[in-house]
């Protein structure tokens, strides 16, 4: 890039509004003129839902910004809402600014002992008290909070609004010190009881968090709580809809195109596949706000959301569960599950991942399913599972790079060799465990699916057409690999299985949905736990006039 073109790009970017990456302050965003996707049309409706409203969303999804916006709205900072949906609401003569008690429980972080946790909690409450010229009147958080609400109401003559961010952070944080967990739970339950005990002194309470584990205390303590987490009316409260993305971020695509080398016209579809797909009602889909902002600012595709948080908690929870990737694809769940997915000590792996935001809702008719929301989460989770299976990180990364190169140059024989090396790296006990669980073909398919994901392909499991479903569809650049996988008892039967697989691909027309399909039939020699034979075909595509066929048998 020449200096003049770089200067031109930097000049063009400087003319655009600042991107508030990581900013959780509504006041700062509005005063600096940064990009703000207006969600205030939802916020004015919240007090109409009930006296206490709860909303769960994944980490870095805009919960703190929502709380900050509510604080500005209830305290009547009208100048910050100029041009926004809530401007009319704040200009209504009937609107009355109110005192606000805003408490971010992620700031209470001392889990060494119960006493130290209480001191840390009390410090947060004391900071709020001081803003109103008050002093705490008790030695434990629950009673101190009760007095604080009453004292603020008496001093201001107005019922305050309570805003609690990251309500579940204390309990989730105490997982690292399990002996302390019961004490933290009891303490938090007592605290939330005070919200109910002081309801005659409060105007409205809004609570956010990541999870909905019932033993967190908030649901057992507050029987009047309204949970809008799955309410279709608030499905776009946090995250960006496609319409919002197009409205606010189109001007930044030229920067992404220049830095990534991807034509601007191809970017919207790629960004949608990579960062869109979170759903909180099963139908409305939203972009991950943190990843979207990072992409627009840095101009490069990366797993921003996944890498912004520690995977250690997930690794600890999922340790020794021997998970496969495809077990979480299109997984049917009940309505009862999505509203009450169990407790943190006893929930299933899919319950935990759903709570944490790594799996999201899909709805087909009246039925609900779980799936990975997008390529970012699928890719990162694939790497996490692969690291759990194959401990040699350097060897794994080297093999993945070679698989990527094979996909790029459409070299199926070399791809088969590299996949066999990966199969050979899977520990013997894992294969034994798969056999005990009668996974059979599914385990080999899951591993191949994992390898391709980690190598950078965009994959679909069991992609359907009107005649059936293919095992794996892997998209890489301009090509789409249609893969059918069969398992044979030994090498002698593998060739027959590979031929049958290719016949199935053709008879069921698995490749007809794509312009550039590469049809691949793989037969596993179960005795050697390797690909024993394969068939490859690139059928004639009239639009592109391309044809190639290849076949091979592993000796």
Domains in the chain with CATH codes: 3-16+239-307 (no CATH), 37-234 (3.40.50), 312-371 (no CATH), 390-553 (no CATH)
Q: What are the tokens at 317?
A: 């929870």
Q: What are the tokens at 71?
A: 């604080």
Question: Following DSSP, what letter does each residue of 471-500 receive, concatenated?
Answer: EEEEEETTEEEEEEEEEESSHHHHHHHHHH
Q: What are the tokens at 454?
A: 């980690």
> Helix and strand tally (H, E) in the chain?
25, 14
What is the rounded distance in angstroms from the CA atom of residue 445 to the CA atom of residue 440? 9
Of the candidates 508, 446, 510, 455, the residue with the CA atom closest to the CA atom of residue 481: 510
What is the rounded distance in angstroms from the CA atom of residue 379 to the CA atom of residue 14? 33
The pairing of strands 479-488 and 517-525 is: parallel
What is residue 295's predicted lDDT score, i.e. its pLDDT?
96
- DSSP 8-state class, residue 159: P
Which residues sit opposite 486 in a β-bridge?
523
What is the rounded distance in angstroms from the CA atom of residue 182 to the CA atom of residue 174? 9
Can you list the residues of the chain whose pLDDT is less than 70? Answer: 1-14, 213-217, 310-322, 342-346, 436-439, 461-468, 540-555
What is the rounded distance in angstroms from the CA atom of residue 239 to the CA atom of residue 285? 9
- DSSP 8-state class, residue 176: G
What is the rounded distance in angstroms from the CA atom of residue 139 to the CA atom of residue 115? 11
Angle, helix 441-454 to helix 375-389, in steps of 10 degrees:
120
Asked if 362 and 371 count as a contact pair (C-beta separation under 8 A), the reply is yes
End-to-end CA distance of the chain: 49
What is the rounded distance in angstroms from the CA atom of residue 222 to the CA atom of residue 189? 10
What is residue 308's predicted lDDT score, i.e. its pLDDT?
81
What is residue 342's predicted lDDT score, i.e. its pLDDT?
67
């Amino acid at each position: 890039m020449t200096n003049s073109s770089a200067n031109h790009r930097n000049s063009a970017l400087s003319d655009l509004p600042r991107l508030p990456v990581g900013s959780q302050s509504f006041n700062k965003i509005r005063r600096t003129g940064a990009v703000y996707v207006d969600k205030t049309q939802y916020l004015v409706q919240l007090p109409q839902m009930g006296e206490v409203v709860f909303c769960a969303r994944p980490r870095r999804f805009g919960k703190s910004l929502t709380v900050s916006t509510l604080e500005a709205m209830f305290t009547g900072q009208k100048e910050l809402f100029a041009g926004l949906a809530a401007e009319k609401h704040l200009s209504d003569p009937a609107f009355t600014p109110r005192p606000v008690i805003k408490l971010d429980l992620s700031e209470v972080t001392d889990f060494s002992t119960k006493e130290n946790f209480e001191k840390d909690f009390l410090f947060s409450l004391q900071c709020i008290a001081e803003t109103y010229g008050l002093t705490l009147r008790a030695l434990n958080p629950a009673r101190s909070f009760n007095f604080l609400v009453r004292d603020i109401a008496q001093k201001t003559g107005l019922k305050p609004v309570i805003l609690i961010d990251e309500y579940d952070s204390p309990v989730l944080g105490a997982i690292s010190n399990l002996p302390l967990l019961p004490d933290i739970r009891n303490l938090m339950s007592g605290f939330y009881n005070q919200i109910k005990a002081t309801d005659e002194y409060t105007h409205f309470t809004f609570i956010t968090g990541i999870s909905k584990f019932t033993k967190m205390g908030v649901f057992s303590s507050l029987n009047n709580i309204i949970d809008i987490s799955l309410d279709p009316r608030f499905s776009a409260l946090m995250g960006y809809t496609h319409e919002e993305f197009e409205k606010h971020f189109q001007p930044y695509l030229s920067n992404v195109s220049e830095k990534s080398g991807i034509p601007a016209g191809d970017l919207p579809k790629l960004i949608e596949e990579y960062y869109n797909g979170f759903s909180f009602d099963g139908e409305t889909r939203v972009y991950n706000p943190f990843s979207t902002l990072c992409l627009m600012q840095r101009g490069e595709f990366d797993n921003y959301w996944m890498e912004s948080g520690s995977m250690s908690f997930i690794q600890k929870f999922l340790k020794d569960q021997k998970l496969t990737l495809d077990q979480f694809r299109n997984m049917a769940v009940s309505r009862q599950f999505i509203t009450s997915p169990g407790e943190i000590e006893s929930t299933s792996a899919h319950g935990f991942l759903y709570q944490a935001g790594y799996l999201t809702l899909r709805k087909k008719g009246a039925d609900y399913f779980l799936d990975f929301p997008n390529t970012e989460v699928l890719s990162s989770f694939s790497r996490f599972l692969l690291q759990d299976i194959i401990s040699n990180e350097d060897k794994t990364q080297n093999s993945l790079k070679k698989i990527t190169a094979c996909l790029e140059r459409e070299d199926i024989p070399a791809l088969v060799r590299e996949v066999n090396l990966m199969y050979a790296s899977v520990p013997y006990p894992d294969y034994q465990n798969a056999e005990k669980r009668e996974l059979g073909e599914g385990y080999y398919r899951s591993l191949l699916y994992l390898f391709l994901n980690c190598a950078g392909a965009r994959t679909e499991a069991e992609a359907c057409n009107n005649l059936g479903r293919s095992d794996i569809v892997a998209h890489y650049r301009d090509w789409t690999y249609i893969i059918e996988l069969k398992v044979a008892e030994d090498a002698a039967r593998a060739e027959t299985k590979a031929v049958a697989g290719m016949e199935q691909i053709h008879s069921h027309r698995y490749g007809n949905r794509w312009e550039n399909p590469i049809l691949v039939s793989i037969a596993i020699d179960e005795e050697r736990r390797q690909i024993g034979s394969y068939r490859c075909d690139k059928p004639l595509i009239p639009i592109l006039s391309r044809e190639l066929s290849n076949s091979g048998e592993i000796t």
